[in-house]
Amino acid sequence: MQEIAVIKCGGSIVDDLSDQFFHNIKTLQQNGVQPVIVHGGGPAIQKMLDTLEIDFSFIDGLRTTSEAAMDIVEMVLSGQINNLITRKLNQAGIQAAGFSGSDAHLIQCKPIDFATYGYVGEVTAVNARFLEKISSRGTVPVIAPIALSQDGERYNVNADTAAGAIAQAAGAGELVFVTDVPGIIENGALRQSTSESEIEALISEGVIDGGMIPKVKAALSCLSDSLQHVMIADANQVMGQDGFTGTRITKNEGATTDDSTVSNI
């Protein structure tokens, strides 16, 4: 089986992906790696909810999602952003197919806490076998972070969390959060690496803030024996021979690394 690399493409950068991003995906394929793309779309969702004057708030970085908001989340993520990225990949000569996480039981979930968050899901299982079937035929799956509950309801999942769960369930050897910054910045400089104990301090000191918090949390929760580091990187960087450059996140030395909670169906 070829190595899988999950690339999470942030909503902050989807409109500004350069040729270099697509070149990097091609290079991964040429190196025998199967890329799986998971995307966000926070800014586009925000814009549409504001235009339609649909209420929401953020609690711990998660968008509270009413039924009306969920219609918009699904429309924007599946109908707009997923199509955009898939179309651009195909235009760049990379065979790609778009999916909602609610297709083919790709992402299964349960509500986090319906009374507080509404339709916001916590991933319980990923259909990694389906992904493997698509990837092994040379097609790049492009996945919107929408999940299905056991009773067939759609839920909104934070895209960083969805990418982490997919990487974990698919046994990915690489997970890269590509975004609009080169990695974790501290005092104006890029931090080349960090680990669990430092991250807690960086969050409490306010160095890691806002949209960077779900990335580092997702990274820490999916590190395992097969996935020993996670990268946060600039989406349009020139990728070198050693892969993406940015901030490399690892567990602390000596910590248990195999704490899998998402099942692979």
Ligand X SMILES: Nc1ncnc2c1ncn2[C@@H]1O[C@H](COP(=O)(O)OP(=O)(O)O)[C@@H](O)[C@H]1O
Binding site for substrate: which residues?
Answer: 41-42, 63, 156
Stretch that binds ligand X, among 64-72, 143-151, 162-170, 208-216 (CB under 6 A): 208-216
120 binds ligand X2W (CB under 6 A): yes
What string marks each residue from 3 to 22 as x (binds ligand X by CB under 6 A) or -? -------xxxx---------
145 binds ligand X2W (CB under 6 A): yes
Stretch that binds ligand X2W, among 8-16, 25-33, 126-134, 164-172 (CB under 6 A): 8-16
42 binds ligand X (CB under 6 A): yes
Render the chain in DSSP notation, one character per residue. -PEEEEEEE-TTTGGG--HHHHHHHHHHHHTTEEEEEEE--HHHHHHHHHHTT----EETTEE-B-HHHHHHHHIIIIIIIHHHHHHHHHHTT--EEEEETTGGG-EEEEES-HHHHBSBEEEEEE-HHHHHHHHHTTPEEEEESEEEETTS-EEE--HHHHHHHHHHHHT-SEEEEEESSSS-EETTEE--EEEHHHHHHHHHTTSS-TTHHHHHHHHHHH--SS---EEEEETT---BTTB--EEEEEPPTT-------SEE-
98 binds ligand X2W (CB under 6 A): no
Residue among 62, 134, 220, 249 that touches ligand X2W (CB under 6 A): 62
38 binds ligand X (CB under 6 A): no
Shortest spacing between CB 142 and ligand X, in angstroms:
16
CA–CA–CA angle 22, 23, 25 (5° rounding): 65
203 binds ligand X (CB under 6 A): no
- When the beta carbons of 135 and 158 are compared against ligand X2W, the nearer one is 158
Which residue ranges make up the annotated binding site? 41-42, 63, 156
Residues in contact with ligand X2W by the rule CB under 6 A: 10-12, 40-42, 45, 62-63, 73, 120, 145, 156, 158-159, 211
Q: Which residues contact ligand X by CB under 6 A?
A: 10-13, 40, 42, 179-181, 184-185, 207-212
